[in-house]
Structure formats: C-alpha cells, structure tokens
Structure 1
Amino acid sequence: MMRMRLPKRWVSLLAAVSTFVGAAESFAQSPDNLMPYSMLRSLQFVQDSVVLGDHSAAEMQRFMLTTIDERLRDAPPSIFADPRNVDAALIYAMSGGNPATLELLVAKDVDGNFDTRVADALRKYLSGRGTLIAKGLGAMVPEYRKTRIGPYLALISGNVTLAQDPVAALKFYDIARLEAPGTIVEEAALRRSLAIAVEDGDATQGFKYAQRYARRFLHSPYASQFADLIVALSVRRYEHIDEATITDTVALMDADRQRETYLRMARMATVAGKEKLARMAATKAKDLSTGLPVVDGAPANLYESLANIGTPDIVSAIKTITSIPDEHLSDRDKILRDAAKAIAEEVVRPPVASAASLQPGTTGWEGEATLPVAAAPGSEPQVTEGTGVWRNPTPVMEDLSPEYKSTVSSGRSKLDEIDALLKKEGSLQ
C-alpha cells in the first residue's frame, strides 16, 4: 500500500504537537516533566510556522497560549529559579499571552528571579502605557543582546519608540530581525521597518526590506498589509526610485500576487496623478491578466486608459473607458471611470470662439492665450501633484466678456463635479 508523503514542515509540526500533547498527558502524573520553557519552544515553532505559511497552525497557537497560561499560573514559584522558565514567562507575555498572568507571577516572586526592570516595563507596555517606558526599555536592549528575550525586547522597543523617533525605532527593528531570522519576530520587524520607509525613511532601504520580506514571508497572514505598504512606497517615493527596483521586487512574488500588487499600484498612482507609474503598473497587470476572463482584465484596462487621458492616445482611452461594462467594475472603480470620462470630455471639447478672442491686443485663437487667465476650456487641464485631482487654477475674471465668463464658469463647475466624484471615491477606500 502506498503511503502519502507529507511536506517536511508538516512532519516537523506534527512531531512538535505530538511532543506537546504527550507532555501534557504526563503533566497529570508529574508536573516537573512539563517545564514552561519546553512548552514555549513548541509555541514559538507554531507561531513561526504561521508566518511562514502554515495558516492551519493558528488554531494550535490559540490552544497552546491557553495551556501555557494555565501552567504558569499553577506553577510553584520554585521552578522560576531556572532562568529558562523566567524567560519563557516573559516571552509568553510578549507573544500574545495574558498580561494578567505576568502580573501574578511578578507578585509571587519573593526570591527575585524576575528582573523587575524588565517586568515593570512589560507590564506598562501591555497595559497600553508603552510611551512612558520607551527610554528605559530601549536602554535595556543592548544589555539583553544575544539572550532568549533580546529579540522580543528590541521589537517592543521599536514599537514604543516609533511615534517619537522613527529612525531610532528602525535600529531596534534591525536588532530584532537580525537576532531572530526566519521567525515571527523578524516578520513583524521587517513589516514595521517597511512602514517607516513609506512615511519617513529611505526609499532604497525600504525596497531592501520589501525584498527580504517577499523572499521569506510572502505567505504570512499579514502579507496583505505588506502588499499595501509596497504599493504605498512605490507611489509616494516614485521620484526617488527607478522602475527596475519596483519590478525586481514584485517579481519575487507568484503571478497572482504580482497581478494584484500591480493593480493596487496602478489604482493608487492614478488617484495620486502619477501617470507614468500608473501606466507601467497597469500594463504589467494587463500582461499578467492574459488568459483570464474578461472581467478579471477590466481593472487593468481601466487604469491603463486613465493613465493615457493626458497623452495623444486620449481618444482610444475614452473608447476603452466607455466600453467597460458596469458589472466588470467595483463601485470604487465606477467612480474613477465616471470622473475620467468627465475629464476626457473637457480635454477634447473643441474651443468655443468668444468676444474675448477679438478684443484689442489679441489675434484670433493665438491671442486668447495671452489673456490673464489660466488654461481656457478645451485646453489640457493641469495636474495638481499629490491630490490625484485634475483641475485648472482659478482664472482672473475681470475685464472678460460675459460670454467668456460663462464658458469658464461652466468648465469650473464640471471640474468641481469631478472633484466631488474623487472625494466620494476616496471615502470608499
């Protein structure tokens, strides 16, 4: 009879669970056979398995957290003479455990087995008062380098330092990920370092973090947040990076994730007015949609056409936008499409001759460009960088004929409607 071969990581996980369950059974006979530090090793293995892609281990994680909590609460104080059990209790608290359990253990610690500085800092952090101990906790990180609790302390120090000093937080995250490679600690440190790069950091370094994350944790349950961060980094820092850096990073993903990432990127770049990036991302997404149903390729076609509104291909873009059925687009994309159609109509509308073009000092349509106004209706709208909204500056209305004032006012009204559409679109994100 043929035997089914399990993946190596599943064999290891089953072995760990079997050991854990066997230890739990022996605990009923001899509590000394079930030390907190041995239970914690199994918890760490399961948590690391989750961020590496074994999502089914999440239920086991919850079970083990509950079981370790019961063991720590019932444990005699004497077992904490072993530093490994002290570290296990601290790491348990920093790994999603019950904060009240740490409170109980510290209260019962008459022999001074727990470092009161660490215990007090963790109690404040777990109760939501982390900013109060940021300086003191950060000072303990060098002391606890290369220890069992060191990476966890560094990760928490980064968390409490982030709001006041993102650069200092990055240093703590670097320590955490370098001392705990391939673990849930590194996954969290990389993801948070990438978030800092989006807001305050260096784009080049941010993509290095992104590439490390993509190589190791692409199947983490938090990978969707990672995708949002890499898209935001690409759009916000586009002027400081080259497209090859973006495409090389996205290429580390499988085809489905690449397509989804490029779609998100094309959409955000479109709203932000980054037409070149939007066009590149939409083209990549369109290429990755080859062979998929038409409805799956509709978003890429929409974003590519949106990026082409300000180019000589505008007529083709309008045709494509208009031809996309409502049922192929989400509500948010319908709003984008409607706004784009309104903008395109303003761009291609023929100029309307007015008395202003015949006033002294002008010579037909060339003379109109010398009037003290911004772009007249029918000319290409300017892009307001960073807002994702195309609109003309406010024209000077004095000394213009009533006919010209009416035309300009009509154009401004149409663009105000577009602004409203995009604001509504933004509220749905």
Structure 2
Amino acid sequence: MRVAAFAAALAASLLVLPALAAEHGEAPAPAAESHGSGDHGGHGAPAAPIEPLPVKPRGLPVELTRTLQLLQDRIARGSTQAHLAQRQLLGHIEQRLIGLEPDTWVEPENVRAAVTFALAGGGPTVLRALIKTEKVPEPEQPLTLGALAYLEGREAQARAKLSGIDPRSMPPGLAGQLALTQSALMVREAPARSLELLDLARLLAPGTLVEEAALRREIFVVAQAGDARRFEALSIQYLRRFRRSVYAGNFRQRFAAALTRLDFDSDRTRIASLERMLDEIEPESRRDLYLLVARAGLEQGRRETALFAAERAAGLAAPDSMPADQARLYRGAALIVAEGRFEDGVETLRSLDRSGLAPSDADLLDTALATAQRIRTPPAPSEATTAPPPSATRAMPESGSLLRAQEALAKAERAMAASPR
C-alpha cells in the first residue's frame, strides 16, 4: 500500500507541474513594497515593478520525463521504494503521453522528451504512437526512428539513424541516455568507440542512473579486454559512489566473475589490487563479495584466487555462521588440489555439516569429497593401464578447480602404471 500511495502521490504531482511552470512564466512579480513616504527626502514615488524573467513554460512531456528521471536517480542511490514505484509511474506517463493532442509533437522539445522516456525504460509504445501522428518535425525524425529501431531490436537500422547524432547537441536529460544507447549499439563491432561513448554518458549525466549504468557497463567491457588497471580504477569508483544502487547486486555477481578472468593466479600484484577494491565497502558486503569471488574462482579453475578470497571471507564471517561454512567449503575445495595441502583440504571438507549448506554448496561438498577420495585411493595397476583419458572421466559440473584435480589424478594414474612394481 505504501508503494501504491507513493506512486499515486508522484502521479498527482505531475498534474500541477505544468501549471506551476506556466504560472511562474506569466504572472508578474509583485511591486516592491514601499517603506517610505514623502518624508524621506521627498522621494516617495513607488519603485517600478520588477519584470518577470522570460521563462517559457515547459510542455507536459518534458515535465513527465523529468519526474521519471528524478525517481530513477533515487534508484541509483539505493531507494527500493522508488524502484518498486517505477513501474506504476512508467505506465502512468505512457498513458498521459499517448493521450496528448497530435499537435503536441510539433514541438522538438516534446519529441525529445518522448525519446528520453522511451530509452529510460518506457519502451517503444509512445514512439510508435508519436510517429503515427505524422507531426514529428523532420530534423527530429532520425532520432525518433533510430530510438524506436533500437527498442525493437533492429540494431543495424538504429546504428544508421543514431550514429550521426552528437549526444552533446541534445538537452541534458537526453544527452547521457543517447550516449548510453549508442554505446550499446557499438560494443560488439567497435568496443573502443563504445567505451568512449560510455565515458561521455558519465560526463553528461553525473550522479544519475544513467551514470550508474554507464559505469557498470564500462567495468565489464574493460574486464573482457583484460585491462586490469582500468578495471580497478572504475570498480573502486563504482563501489565508492553506487554501492547502494538497487542494481549493485547484479554488479557484484558479474564483478566476481570478471575478477577471475583477470588471472590473479599468474600476477600476485593483482591480489593487492583486489584488496584495494573491496576495502571500499563495508565488512559485511566485502565478505559476501569475497565469497562470490571464491566460488567464481572454483568454477573457472582459478585455485589461487579461490583460496585467497575464501580465506579473506572467513576472516570477515562470524563463527558458526553460514558465510563461515561457505568460506571453509571453498577453501577446502581449493586446498585438495594445492600441492602439499591435500590433508588440510580434506579435513576442512569433512568438518562441514552438509545439512546447513545451500543446495548448490551441498552439491559442491559432495563432489569435492568424492574427488578427494579418488585422489587418495589410486586404482589397481591393471585398472590404471586401461584408465580412460581425462575427457572420459566423470564431469564435475560445479567447480573448475575440481576438473583440474581430475586431470591431475589421471596424470598420477598414468605415472603409477609406468613405474615398476
């Protein structure tokens, strides 16, 4: 009920915004109040009235879109209430825009506001209705048609229409949104240009949900390119400024996977880099991120990364808590394939209570213990000579490091078969 009331209040406020703007643009300012009469030096004539500034009232599409953007900026700052209210507000604005008179779209600023709304989550419906009116000025048609093509998944047409538009020539509310859209259209064919556009989007829309989205996307583009320094700098910036964003959970999942692609195993200096990044956030969130990194490290076969992250998470977890059990699980799974630390890993795994783990972690525990048993108990010589190749062994669906263990086991079996008895 609170969410509905919040959205209703927002919707109601939209009705008065244009009237207020018109009122401030047309009503003359009151004359200056006179505090004197003819007694003060004979200058008792009233002061001349102050002329109002020539402010042109904004159209309803502009006011509606601005209200949506204010709500979305609260989402970037972590307001879950604003996130829940967004859907209702989007539906309300869509209906208001569709119901406007066709002549509304003669004004370029109204067309650009409609495009902003569509790209900010409103979808293609308003743009389709707008184009059907045949009132869109010719200079605004590439923008309108290009945005519609993008929203309908016609990327080639969208690139053709939008690539020649400089986002810096657009109003502030649209400029960053357009740069973000252009970046998405370029990311596969021209990643360097896509990064430039993401930088531009951040500059054009500081502190907004557009900047949050641009920064989040840029981090993963540079991670895919293997640019560790830029990845670190951008990640620290995101964790400092947007760690409370409603979309930070999605960021953290992808962030953990991206970290393992940067190969911390072969470059120990990156361990310090990881610590610098995660030191930017509070201990509980830092613990959860270390757990995500540890799990991702196991899944991608990055033993050193998994071990490091699991040990850091353990230091931040309360004793006998589920996060502490997760950290011990990931540490044990990494240790059974670490040279000279097999017994430590097995002991850690056996100390865990399977019933207290999440289903995916319980499956990982079973797989790790089964792999440890196979490593500890080599096959008989006759079995070893006919051992299947590593590719034919039982798949380990949960952990890349356990796949490495299987390969190590197969290698040991071949060595035992070749040795004299």
Q: Same fold judged by TM-score > 0.5?
A: yes
Deviation at 1:282, TM superposition (A): 0.6
% same residue: 27
Partner SS, residue 163 of structure 2? helix
Residues 257, 341 of structure 1: CA spacing in aligned structure 2 closer, same or farther, 3 A cutoff? same
Deviation at 1:339, TM superposition (A): 3.0
Residues 114, 256 of structure 1: CA spacing in aligned structure 2 closer, same or farther, 3 A cutoff? farther
Q: Which moved more, 1:385-394 or 1:190-199?
A: 385-394
In the TM superposition, 1:27-426 aligns within 5 A as: 35-110=60-135, 112=137, 115-141=140-166, 144=169, 147-237=172-262, 238=264, 239=266, 242-291=270-319, 293-309=320-336, 310-349=338-377, 388=404, 390-392=406-408, 404=417
Deviation at 1:251, TM superposition (A): 1.6
Amino acid of the structure 2 residue aligned with 1:330: A
Amino acid of the structure 1 residue aligned with 2:130: L
Residues 160, 194 of structure 1: CA spacing in aligned structure 2 closer, same or farther, 3 A cutoff? same
CA distance, structure 2, for counterparts of residue 271 and residue 70 of structure 1: 47
Deviation at 1:300, TM superposition (A): 0.4
Deviation at 1:98, TM superposition (A): 4.1
CA distance, structure 2, for counterparts of residue 266 and residue 325 of structure 1: 19
Amino acid of the structure 2 residue aligned with 1:314: F
CA distance, structure 2, for counterparts of residue 197 and residue 271 of structure 1: 21
Deviation at 1:210, TM superposition (A): 1.5
Amino acid of the structure 2 residue aligned with 1:307: A
Q: Which moved more, 1:179-188 or 1:92-101?
A: 92-101
Amino acid of the structure 1 residue aligned with 2:156: T
Deviation at 1:128, TM superposition (A): 1.1
Cα RMSD after superposing both structures: 3.9
Residues 391, 384 of structure 1: CA spacing in aligned structure 2 closer, same or farther, 3 A cutoff? farther
Residues 104, 259 of structure 1: CA spacing in aligned structure 2 closer, same or farther, 3 A cutoff? same
Residues 108, 222 of structure 1: CA spacing in aligned structure 2 closer, same or farther, 3 A cutoff? same
CA distance, structure 1, for counterparts of residue 249 and residue 10 of structure 2: 33
Partner SS, residue 264 of structure 1? helix
Aligned partners of 1:103 and 1:123 also within 8 Å:
yes
Deviation at 1:347, TM superposition (A): 4.1
Amino acid of the structure 1 residue aligned with 2:407: R
Aligned partners of 2:167 and 2:176 also within 8 Å:
no
| Structure 2 residues without counterparts, runs of 5 or longer | 1-5, 23-56, 391-398
Deviation at 1:107, TM superposition (A): 2.7
Amino acid of the structure 2 residue aligned with 1:107: K
Amino acid of the structure 2 residue aligned with 1:322: R
For residues 34-83 of structure 1, what are the alpha-carbon distances to aligned partners after superposition, in whole Å with 9 as ceiling and x for unaligned? 72212221110001101211110124322322222222222234444544
Residues 171, 60 of structure 1: CA spacing in aligned structure 2 closer, same or farther, 3 A cutoff? same
Aligned partners of 1:138 and 1:154 also within 8 Å:
no
The TM-score, its normalising length taken from structure 2, stands at 0.75
For residues 355-407 of structure 1, what are the alpha-carbon distances to aligned partners after superposition, in whole Å with 9 as ceiling and x for unaligned? x9xxxxxxxxxxxxxxxx99xxxxxxxx9989655414977999x9xx94899
Residue 12 of structure 2, aligned match among 21, 25, 39: 21
CA distance, structure 1, for counterparts of residue 278 and residue 121 of structure 2: 31
Amino acid of the structure 2 residue aligned with 1:154: A
Q: Which moved more, 1:87-96 or 1:111-120?
A: 111-120
